Structure 1
Amino acid sequence: MEEGHVLEEVGTVVAVGAVAVGVAVVGVPAQAHGGGGGVRTVGYYTQWSHQDRGVPVRYIVDNGSAARLTHLNYAFGLLDEQGSCVSSDPAADYQRLIPARESVSGKADRPGQALAGNLNQLKQLKQKFPKLRVYISLGGWIGSAYFSNAALTSQSRAAHVRSCIDLWLKGNLPGAPAGAAKGVFDGIDLDWEWPATDGNVGNVVRPEDKQNFTALLREYRVQLDRQGAKDRKTYDLTAFLPANREAMDRGYEFAEVYRLLTFATVQGYDYHGAWERTANQQSALRVPDGDPTTPKDSGEIVVDAHLQRGAPRDKITLGVPYYGRGWTGLPNQNNGLFQQSTGPAPGTYEAGYDDYRTLKGLLTSGKYTLHRDTKAGHAWLFNGTTFWTYDDPTELTRKGRYIRDRSLGGAMIWSLDGDTPQGELIRALSTGLHRR
């Protein structure tokens, strides 16, 4: 538990004084890279982390995250309307010159070099951590508009996969020397949100997406194996799969999907958010007592749903959030939990959303009190009117233990830029995943 004074404990809900400060938990040493017993630690690093949030790739080296990761997903590559892979921001991906103070190698990029930007930093990261596997992640919530077009026919599937292999694995970037990015990526991660189910406004959605998604994975597997034989290496194939049971059943042939994937990352967050009026948990392990919503959502429910649909236990990589969801305009009752809001809480980048490193500052300001449900496994901040649900080091250690105790494949992090410079979250998660 965080440093500070326990003010009250009623049942399983604990409130910790507003002066409490989260303390980093000592995690596994760097030589444990790759995971004890094959447990994965997969972290998403976003294309916009550096320029928009001031978090270069160097940050995850300095705070200890990179040494504790087994896999890193670079998010996101996009698809054009025809389903071909494209870079949405060439400057961020491979053109921007990185100064020495922000570089993994400590050396500044120079004009005219073949590869710069985030991809060159990932290349340097792999040189520093040779066991780390790095994937290009395609799609995301706002980038899934044209997956259905790519998956529609055997011809469109083949063309899509060829374009992605050419761009990201062969490294043939527009405007750069041929093969400039070859060797950066060890596989492809598909974040189609969601086949046959409405996602972001404007997404193309077809009923046959369910069968076409499986066919797309088969095409990927064939072409990745062929390219791997040429390159004398194994290319991996992963996908981000949903928490929503209706989306599971409408969009996926589960047993076959899991068979084709190296592993899957599973949505372990966004169970609730400010798109709803009721302040609630967004990532609890179990359903809290008194939860008024239907259907219920929790990490345990989602994991069980995947297992019931044929997922192999060791391929389930449960997602954990490095951010919180917030509401405001709440009455000062039940510490804000399950109360009706007037709307999303103000956020740094998006209303109703903020990173852990920012939310920790709310706690240390003395204006918020930390509350915890140790039975359900979730924490939240409340100041009498504004409520933030989030995962702190205590909850991430708890989730790591849960993953380990259920013999799941590991943990996935969205996203690495949310942790503190001290790496409090990655250390806590690693403690839960690896300490016996």
Structure 2
Amino acid sequence: MSKVRWHLTALFAAVAALVLGLVVVAPASGATGVKATFSKSSDWGSGYEGKYTISNGGTSAISSWSVEFELPAGHTVGSVWDGNKTTNGSRVTVKNTWNGNVAPGASVSFGFNVSYTGDSGSPIYCRIDGGSCDGTGGTPTTTTTPPPVTSTSTPPPGPGSKINLGYFAQWTVYARNYHVKNIHTSGSAAKLTHINYAFGNVSNGQCVLGDADADTGKFYDANASVDGVADTWDTGALRGNFNQLRKLKKMYPHIKVLYSFGGWTWSGGFGQAAQNPAAFAESCHKLVEDPRWADVFDGIDIDWEYPNACGLTCDTSGFSSFKNLAQALRARFGQNYLVTAAITADGSNNGKIDKADYGGAAQYLDWYNVMTYDYFGGFTPQGPTAPHSPLTAYPGIPADGFNSDAAIQKLKGKGVPSAKLLLGIGFYGRGWTGVTQDAPGGSATGPAPGDQGEAGIADYKTLKTRCPATGTVGGTAYAKCGNEWWSYDTPATIGGKMSYSKNQGLGGAFFWELSGDTANGELITSMSNGLK
């Protein structure tokens, strides 16, 4: 909590000024040449993402900074990243965290979210270290009198008690050129509560590394490293994504990281693991808690697609196999370690949710990531076109039970507590080509060209301009452009889904995956705001 300390003479001057009806402004103490420049991005009509860049145009380095600003009436600052925020009425003060040292000619920044009613506005007042933000060191001007001193500290970053979990896919460091550093530079880190690192493999009934080079070997120089410090080639030194995640956690101590095993491609090994759950759990514990990177991980996540049902391959391990695996993992990792699972969202009668004991397994797990996406897509080349992630059913939906609400209600009906269910969001779209009908339900000739090395799937960050949304159905968006038809979530539809999550008493939400978002984290911002 910030405090105002008055010298005795200043106090007498203030009293005199009040008697005369004047407003006294404390003398400035800002360093000449140090500026704080405001910029705005991603304005979605009820909020925007703002940033202040602190530039040192002086001749001496600074070791700390404090920026104070005020926004117009009806504007409220939410989460802040790369800075610690306090409020004093309508004034906001942000002080440095890890980024206090600024050499001459260098700059650092902090970001924040603003929600507003009415027109979108910019700060009407700004000072840095007590002086004007224009770098003159003079006294800033303001159109409003300073508010009364009622300063309160801001809670830690993230959407409060609700979980906002994002997947980081290890392979994005290759062709997609998305790295742990991007979680920081996009502003996403401050809005996440948890990261699932995907994926570890399941081979011969054991947990094993999925990609040793990406996981622990890839070298990051200073420019690419999340904290600006290059990796070392010293014998035994940890590199790769694991080391980058370690650095990210130091910068954002509120983030918990879970190691996720399986996924669509690597779920085939779970059937053998289920034959000896205790041995499987022991192998996972040995890997995840390896002393070289044990501090990186706070939990383990199992993404089995699908127990006692068919995914890439078909599993016949039995109804109880998933529960037995969950029980063994909890027994080995203990009560203070996060143990979670990503599960099917097939809410149809006698569908995949009915094939395994998800109700019984819930007692051993902290939560389920319910994969409420990929219901429909270009994997059925002729259509009919339908949104891949409908929140609710709608007239003409191609399959009963293939929507988010059906899955959530079915899991609740099996005894899974609402707070142990996270709603899934896809940061990508699925689409068809050869489509002539604007509305859902049209025929197609095949999957649309993709941007992830697979036809029929593309990132939100490219679809938002390549094929802008033209309508909504079932609580999500769709788009018709030329002969292509796509479905994907937008900031607006995500807002609706987050309201659903809160209304249903769910534990929060999660998304697949970080590299699909815009460079400034447009979708995760909507999730974070919607979960508050």
Q: TM bucket by the smaller chain?
A: 0.7 to 0.9
Looking at structure 1, the residues matched to 480 and 455 of structure 2 have their Cα atoms a distance apart, in angstroms, of 17
Q: Which residue of 2 aligns with 1:347?
A: 450
- TM-fit CA distance, 1:297: 2.0
> Which residue in 2 is equivalent to 1:242?
344
Distance 2:414 2:196 in 1: 26
The answer on whether the counterparts of 1:22 and 1:393 sit within 8 Å (CA) in structure 2 is: no
Matches within 5 A, 1:27-426: 28-30=78-80, 32-33=155-156, 35-36=158-159, 38-80=161-203, 82-112=204-234, 114-152=237-275, 156-169=276-289, 171=290, 179-201=291-313, 205-208=315-318, 210-225=319-334, 234-245=336-347, 246-251=351-356, 253-276=357-380, 277-291=383-397, 293-331=398-436, 333=437, 335-349=438-452, 350-363=454-467, 369-373=468-472, 376-426=474-524
Give a deviation string over 1:310-363, Cα, whole Å, max 9, x none: 1101111111010000100112x2x15210110100101210001111112304
Checking the alignment, whether the CA contact within 8 Å between 1:336 and 1:384 is kept in structure 2 is: no
Give yes or no for contact 2:42–2:520 (8 Å, CA) kept in 1: no
Distance 1:32 1:45, change over 3 A: farther
- Asked whether the equivalents of residues 278 and 339 of structure 1 are also in contact (C-alpha less than 8 Å), the reply is yes
Deviation track 1:50-105 (CA, whole Å, cap 9, x = no partner) reads 1131111010111111111111100000011x211111211000001012222111
Shift of 1:370: 2.3
What root-mean-square deviation, in Å, do the aligned CA atoms of Structure 1 and Structure 2 show? 1.8
Partner of 1:370, secondary structure, is coil
Aligned residue type for 2:281: V
* Structure 2: stretches of 5+ with no match in the other structure: 1-40, 50-77, 81-153
Letter in 2 for 1:329: G
- Separation in 2, partners of 1:302, 1:421: 32
Q: Secondary structure at the match of 1:303?
A: helix
Change over 3 Å in CA distance of 1:187–1:23 after alignment to 2:
same
Displacement of 1:207 in angstroms is 4.4
Q: Distance in 2 between matches of 1:402 and 1:35?
A: 19
Report the secondary structure of 1:341's partner residue: coil
Structure 1 unaligned residues grouped into runs of 5+: 1-20, 172-178, 229-233, 364-368
Q: Give how far 1:384 is off.
A: 3.4
Task: Mark the CA change 1:342 to 1:163 in structure 2 (over 3 Å): closer, same or farther.
Answer: same
Which secondary structure does the structure 1 equivalent of 2:443 belong to?
coil
The Cα shift of 1:300 comes to 1.5
Tell me how far 1:23 sits from its aligned partner: 4.4
Partner residue in 2 for 1:429: 527
How big is each residue's C-alpha offset from its partner over 1:131-184, in whole Å with a ceiling of 9 and x where there is no partner? 2110000000001011010111xxx22221111111112x2xxxxxxx211211
In structure 1, how many angstroms separate the alpha carbons of the residues matched to 2:43 and 2:423? Answer: 24
Q: Which amino acid aligns with 1:206?
A: T
Distance across 2 between alignment mates of 1:285 and 1:96: 39
Distance 1:96 1:35, change over 3 A: closer
Question: Contact 1:75 / 1:136 at 8 angstroms: preserved in 2?
Answer: yes
Inter-partner Cα distance in structure 1 for 2:208 and 2:396? 46
Mapped contact 2:288–2:294 kept (Cα < 8 A): yes
- Looking at CA atoms only, which structure, 1 or 2, has the larger radius of gyration? 2
**Helix, strand or coil at the partner of 1:420:** coil
- Corresponding pairs, count: 382
Retained in 2: the 8 A contact 1:397–1:430?
no
Structure 1 residue identity aligned to 2:445: T
Secondary structure of 1:61 counterpart:
helix
TM-score scaled by structure 1?
Answer: 0.84
The one-letter code matched in structure 2 to 1:168 is V
Match of 1:174 in 2: none
CA contact (8 A) 1:34 1:132 kept: no
Matched letter for residue 497 of structure 2: K
- Indicate how the Cα distance of structure 1 residues 311 and 128 shifts in structure 2: closer, same or farther if over 3 A, else same: same
Greater relative CO, 1 or 2 (CA 8 Å, sep 6+): 1
Kindly report structure 1 stretches of 4+ aligned residues shifted beyond 2 Å. 21-28, 30-37, 288-291
Matched letter for residue 314 of structure 1: A
Counterpart CA distance in 2 for 1:186 and 1:115 is: 18
Asked if the contact 1:242–1:267 (Cα under 8 Å) also holds between the matched residues in 2, the reply is yes
